[in-house]
Amino acid sequence: MKIDRRTRTRVPLALALLLLTGSGPSPYPLDGWETTGIRRLRAYAMMQDGRMRPDVRLPPGAMLPTSAVRLTLANRENTYDIDSSTVRDRRLQAGLEQILAGRPSYRAAILDLTDPDVPKYAAVREQEGYYPGSVGKLLVMTGLFDQLAKLYPDDVEARRTLLRTTMVTADAFAMPNSHAVPIVADDWSGVTHRAVRVEDRFSLYEWIDHAVSPSSNAAGSIVWKQALLLQEFGRDYPPTPEQEAEFFRSVPRQELARRSIELVEEPLRDVGLDTERLHIRGYFTSGAQRVIPPQPSRVVPRELVRWMLKLEQGRLVDEWSSLEMKRLIYFTRRRYRYAAAPVLRDAAVYFKSGSLYRCKEEAGYECVQYKGNAENLMHSVAIVETPAQPSAGEVQHRYLVSMMSNVLKVNSANEHMEIASRIDALVRSVGP
């Protein structure tokens, strides 16, 4: 098949520990097991009909088949984009401003694609950003898919085969980490959840799944490392352990950092995204950062919405990659934070969340996870299609939303969930 490549912890009370967190959904439609080999997908499907414990029941919006996940703006003559001159929809803008009134730390942007020929945009402080946390894993995933496209520009089956059959072993790049990932028993008798350990082996597809589903920092660093090795070894990927060790020994640390950043940012620049306002420039684990030194990172809501827009247009790397990445962020797990809003139960939600908290000494205050008193970031990025399976004549609302906040001493999960309900009501009230 020929592809048209378009433009291309423990938390001390002192200020000591910075946690990169961001539990996330288990994505990709459950019937994707056959094509991806991601074992979790088959296990979760077995849970739905009681063949495996624990009994995890997913909401209706999480049960789409792979064939039903589509790109809203692909195969259309749609060159729509967002910049400083983009006209904001009057009603959508007024509603968003009302929702975020009294919430000065919030930044948000919404793009309503219910009528794809008449997009509606609204935003509040959309060019003011924060450290991305685990939302940056979306950008790392983009960089990996770009390397695959460079390696096999006209053969998507070769790309899929590489993702499915390449087995990667966790090493020091994965350490330390705390997020549990699903481990499926060899005899399909059950699933356990634990942090990644050195010597764990998963396919490249499964490492991506771990990075964007339970948002494993270990997996995020492993995926980025594999993209770097793909760039270096090309058709000779994967390298032998000896070749890999020699590569990291012989290339200076600053050069490794430069290459890592470039491979993530090049596909973003290719489609016109602003990499000064949309970048992740440090691996997710200290084990990786000891080899490849980090730099400051930043994202803003407008560029995150533009990332989703390019995805929906099929322009992020190319159409196959855009669709595959959308499948990989499809929410097929118990919902939480923004996506846990009850009003979204019947919606298909394509989602990534991230958080980061930091504490300092304060009399009478006990530092609690996700309630930092020095910094308490929480970010939500979502494509919402509601209802996921509309009946005949029913309007399906489709919208992209990016929201970032830094509300100290408060677990923002409930607040993000409340705001999700109000944004959904707002989009419905504006109408197609």
Establish if 10 belongs to a structural domain: no
Establish if 13 belongs to a structural domain: no
Number of domains within the chain: 1
- Residue 171 structure tokens: 């090493």
Angle between the 137-151 and 319-328 helix axes, to the nearest 10 degrees? 140
Answering whether pTM is above 0.85, one says: yes
Establish if 381 belongs to a structural domain: yes
**Residue with token string 């007024």:** 94
- Residue 400 structure tokens: 């992209």
pLDDT of residue 22: 38
* Mean pLDDT on 362-379: 91
Residue range 163-210, pLDDT digits in tens: 999 999 999 999 998 889 999 999 999 899 999 999 999 999 999 999
Which residues sit opposite 195 in a β-bridge? 180
pLDDT of residue 13: 32
Establish if 350 belongs to a structural domain: yes
Residue 20: its H or E element: strand 19-21
Residue type, 409: K
pLDDT of residue 289: 98
Q: Does position 6 have pLDDT exceeding 50, yes or no? A: no
* Mean pLDDT on 150-157: 98
pLDDT of residue 8: 37
Residue range 89-131, pLDDT digits in tens: 999 999 999 999 999 999 999 999 999 999 999 999 999 999 9
Establish if 1 belongs to a structural domain: no
Residue range 240-277, pLDDT digits in tens: 999 999 999 999 999 999 999 999 999 999 999 999 99
Establish if 348 belongs to a structural domain: yes
Angle among Cα 19, 21, 22 to the nearest 5 degrees reads 165
- CA–CA distance, 326 with 311 (Å, rounded to integer): 7
Q: What percent of the chain has pLDDT over 70?
A: 93
Q: Does position 16 have pLDDT exceeding 60, yes or no? A: no
Establish if 185 belongs to a structural domain: yes
Domain enclosing residue 184, as ranges: 19-430
Establish if 112 belongs to a structural domain: yes
Domain with 311 in it: what CATH number? 3.40.710.10
pLDDT of residue 225: 98
pLDDT of residue 27: 56
SS3 of residue 124 by DSSP? strand
- CA–CA distance, 241 with 103 (Å, rounded to integer): 51
pLDDT of residue 14: 32
Q: pLDDT band for position 55 (50/70/90)? A: low
